[in-house]
Structure 1
Amino acid sequence: MTPTLITFFVVLIATFTVQIEHRSEGFKQLFSLPIPKSMVYNGKLFIAALVIFITYLFFLVFVLLSGYAISLVFPEYGFLSYRPNLIFMVKVLFSSYLTTLGILAIQYFISYKTKNFIVPIGIGIVMIILGLILFRSPRFAPFMPYAYNISNFVNLDLKNPSLISWFTNYSVYSIIVFIGISIFGSRNITKSNVI
C-alpha cells in the first residue's frame, strides 16, 4: 500500500462518510436526537478512522495469504522457506496509519462544512499533489499533513525494535493535527445551526 494511494483512500473515505448524510439530509435527523452534536461528529469520525484501520488489517492479512497462495501454486519460488518479518510489516503499517489520521480529520471537517461532493475531493487532490512536492523539504514537510505519510516512510527507523521508534515525528505531528482538528470541529458543530 503506497503512501500516495492510501492518502487518496483516506480522502475518499472521509468524504463519503459525510456525503452520505448530506445527500439524505441525515444530519437534520441526527441532530434532532437528544444527544450532543459533537457526539455525532466525533462518532462518525471514529467510524471513518476504524474503517481505515480495518483496511490496514485486511491489507496485512491478504499480503500474508497471497504469499502463502503463491507458495502453493508455485512451490519453486520458495515462499514457505522464508518467514515474513511481521514486526517490520506491522511497524510500517501502524506508523502509516498514524500519519493518515491528520489527513482524515482535515478532510472530514472540510466534507462536513461543504455539501458539495467535488469540493472536498478537489481540495484533497490538490493537497496530495502539494504533499508530493513538499515531502522532501525538511523545512516545509512538518507543516503539510498531506506529506506526513510519504515523509514517514523516508524517516522510519526500521532497524530499531523499541516501541518508541514506531512513532516518528510525522506520526506525532499527525496525531496532534487529528486531535486539534477534531476538537475544533466538535466545537464548531455545537455552534452551528442545522439547515
Structure 2
Amino acid sequence: MFSRILLAELLKIRRKWIVALAIIGPLGVVLLQAVNYGLRYDYLMDQYAGDPWEGLLGQVFWLKMPALFIGLALVASMSAGVEHSAGGWKQLLALPVTRLQVFAGKVAVTLLLLLFSCTLLLVFTFIFGLVLGLEVSSTPWAELFKQSYLAYLALLPFIALQSWLSLTMSNQAVPMTVGILGMVLSLISIALPDWTPWAWAYQVVEPGMGLTIAGAGTATGLLVILIGYAHFARKDAS
C-alpha cells in the first residue's frame, strides 16, 4: 500500500517545478563555483596546489549547505502545496488511506528529492573537477560521499521539521520563514555551539565526526517526524 501512495505522490509532482528545483539547486552550486574558479583560478589552484581536489570539495561544500537549507524548505513547501490548494486535503483524506500513510508518503517524497539533489551534486562536482583538469586517480571518493550523504543525514531534523510545518500549515509563509532562518543560522554556524543542529552539517567533514553527527541527525530527524505525525494526526483536514 505504501508503495502505491509513494508512487501517487511522485505522479502528483511530475509536472510541478519541484523536480526541476531538485536539479537546479545542485547545478547552481557547481555553476557558481565555476564562476569562482573562472575569476580566481590561479589563486585557488596555487592555494590548494598540494591537494586541488580537497580545495574544490571545500569550496563546493561551504556553498552547498546554505543552498540545501533553503532548498529543502522550498521542496517541502511545494510538495505540501499540492494538497493545500483547492481543498486537496479533504479529498485525499476521504480516500481509504490512513493519516500515517499520507504523512509518510509526503515526507518520503521530500526525503527522496533531497537525496536526489545530494547525489546530483556529487556527480556535478566530480565532472567539474575533471573540467578543471584534476586527476581521476586522485579523486577523494570517501570525502565526496561523506560530504554528500553524511551531510544529508545530518540535515534530517530540518527536512523533518520543514515537512511537518509545511503539511500542517496552509499558510506557507511560516515554513518558508523558518527555512530562511535556518539558512541564515547555517551561515553563522561557526559561531554556534557544537551541539546545535545547524552546526552538525558542517561537522560531518571533521575527522572522526562523520558517523557520530550522521547518527545524531538521523535519530533527531526520526523524533521530529514522530512529533510531526502526532500533530498531523490530530489536525482537521482543511
TM range (shorter): 0.7 to 0.9
CA 1:60–1:134 in 2, change beyond 3 Å: closer, same or farther? closer
Question: Residue 28 of structure 1 aligns with which residue?
Answer: 90
Partner Cα distance (1:85, 1:134) in 2: 25
**Higher relative contact order by CA 8 Å / sep ≥ 6: 1 or 2?**
1
TM-score, normalising length: structure 1: 0.79
> Are 1:148 and 2:210 matched, yes or no?
no
Cα distance change on mapping 1:125 and 1:13 into 2, 3 Å: same
Give structure 1 stretches of 5+ with no counterpart.
72-77
Unaligned runs of 5+ in 2: 1-60
Paired residue total: 176
Distance 1:20 1:102 in 2: 23
TM superposition shift of 1:82? 4.6
- In the superposition, relative to structure 1, how do residues 146 and 137 fare at CA in structure 2: closer, same or farther (>3 Å)? closer
Distance 2:160 2:136 in 1: 42
Per the alignment, residue 37 of structure 2 pairs with: none
Matches of residues 28-177 of structure 1 in structure 2 within 5 Å? 28-68=90-130, 70=131, 78-80=133-135, 82-138=137-193, 141-142=194-195, 144-153=196-205, 156-157=206-207, 166-169=210-213, 171-177=214-220
CA deviation string 1:77-107 (max 9, x = no partner): x434653111221122111111111101111
Using the alignment, how far apart are the partners of 2:70 and 2:216 within structure 1?
19
Amino acid at match of 1:86: W
Cα distance, 1:63–1:131 mapped onto 2, change above 3 Å: closer
Aligned to 2:229: 186
> Do residues 7 (structure 1) and 69 (structure 2) align?
yes
Superimposed CA distance per residue, residues 43-79 of structure 1 (whole angstroms, 9 cap, x where no aligned partner): 11011101111111111112222333x26xxxxxx43
Q: Whole-Å Cα distance in 1 between the matches of residues 192 and 232 of structure 2?
A: 35
Letter in 1 for 2:83: E
Q: What's the counterpart of residue 26 of structure 2?
A: none
Could you tell me how far apart the structure 1 residues matched to 2:126 and 2:189 are?
Answer: 33
RMSD: 2.2
Go from structure 1 to structure 2 and tell me whether the alpha carbon gap of 1:129 and 1:66 turns closer, same or farther (over 3 Å shift). Answer: closer
Deviation at residue 135 of structure 1 after TM alignment: 4.3
Give the SS at the match of 2:192: coil
